[in-house]
């Protein structure tokens, strides 16, 4: 029943994807438990209470499922784990534990033990594997990036895409040049195409271009002029946007497609 209302599997997958083999969070939880046992009020206020507050808010799937649906941050949710001071607290408590040892030999043994334990917690003991997707970027962004890479005829293609891809595409592939600035893209931030007044396209080109990237079918002549003005070489169409009739009015040539997106080459001659 809960799975029908809340996508609990998403939060489970995100948790495992961020913490790898899960053991990495064990020393952190152990440090928090140690602070609670020692009743150190200062450390509790710095580390323990923020953790519990986060646990019932940003790490609560029953709250965040609704928030993510409203804000559309599902592909960035794993970044909330960065808030946890895992490395700092583990290093601090480890150093504190080592200093308490009176004999040098005991310190060295404890240091080596902690070093090996943290190494085992951070990945596989047999091999270190580098993650190609270190930013946990959505698979659709990777597929679109690969599609552009397969078809581009220049080292740094100028690309126009929708807001869902815009904030991630260049992060995954720095060779891509985005045709619009953050300021232009954010003009209609958190607004869907149905909530944007098409008449605002006539106020200025920035508004016209911004609403175009969010699926508004602006005047085709204006769209073609903006594509040329911004020297767009490739346009990535979200297949949920624009009718086929509207696409035929644009000066574009179909190139390739992946699930949810189509790639077009702009005719800027």
> Chain-wide mean pLDDT for the chain?
83
What DSSP state is assigned to residue 44? I
Whether the per-residue pLDDT at 131 is higher than 60: the answer is: no
Residue 173 clears pLDDT 70, i.e. is over it: yes
Contact 28, 84 (CB under 8 A): yes
When pLDDT is averaged across residues 36-51 and rounded to a whole number, the result is: 89
Per residue in 136-163, pLDDT (tens digit) is 677 888 889 989 999 988 899 999 998 8
Kindly report, residue by residue over 8-37, the tens digit of the pLDDT.
Answer: 788 888 887 777 666 778 888 888 988 898
Q: Which helix (H) or strand (E) holds 106?
A: helix 104-121
| Long-range contacts from 58-67, C-beta under 8 angstroms, 24+ separation | 58/83, 61/6, 61/7, 61/8, 61/11, 62/6, 64/11, 65/6, 65/7, 65/11
- Check residue 115 and give its pLDDT: 75
Using a cut of 0.85, tell me whether the model's pTM lies above it. no
Q: What is the pLDDT, as a whole number, of residue 223?
A: 93
Are 93 and 31 contacting, i.e. CB atoms less than 8 angstroms apart?
yes
Query: How many Å is the Cα radius of gyration of the chain?
Result: 25
pLDDT band at residue 269 using 50, 70 and 90 as cut-offs: low
Confidence class for position 1, pLDDT limits 50, 70, 90: very low
Instruction: Return the pLDDT at 124.
Output: 47
């Amino acid at each position: 029943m809960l799975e029908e209302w809340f996508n609990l599997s998403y939060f489970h997958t995100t948790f495992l994807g961020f913490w790898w083999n899960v053991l990495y969070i064990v020393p952190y939880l152990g440090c928090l438990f140690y602070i609670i046992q020692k009743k150190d009020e200062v450390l509790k206020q710095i580390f323990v209470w923020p953790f519990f507050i986060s646990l019932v808010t940003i790490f609560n799937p029953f709250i965040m499922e609704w928030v993510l649906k409203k804000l559309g941050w599902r592909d960035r949710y794993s970044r909330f784990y960065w808030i946890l001071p895992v490395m700092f607290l583990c290093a601090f408590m480890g150093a504190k534990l080592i200093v308490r040892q009176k004999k040098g030999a005991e310190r060295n043994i404890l240091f080596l033990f902690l070093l090996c334990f943290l190494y085992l917690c951070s990945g596989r003991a047999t091999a270190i594997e580098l993650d190609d997707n270190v930013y946990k970027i959505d698979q659709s962004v990777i597929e679109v990036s690969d599609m552009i890479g397969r078809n581009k005829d220049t080292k740094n293609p100028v690309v126009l895409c929708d807001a869902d891809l815009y904030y991630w595409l260049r992060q995954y592939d720095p060779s891509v040049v985005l045709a619009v600035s953050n300021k232009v893209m954010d003009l209609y931030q958190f607004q869907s195409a149905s909530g944007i007044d098409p008449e605002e396209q006539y106020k200025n080109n920035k508004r016209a271009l911004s609403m175009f990237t969010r699926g508004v079918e602006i005047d085709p002549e204006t769209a073609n002029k903006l594509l040329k003005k911004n020297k767009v070489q490739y346009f990535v169409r979200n297949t949920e946007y624009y009718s086929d009739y509207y696409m035929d009015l644009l000066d574009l040539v179909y190139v390739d497609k992946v699930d949810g997106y189509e790639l077009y080459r702009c005719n800027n001659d």
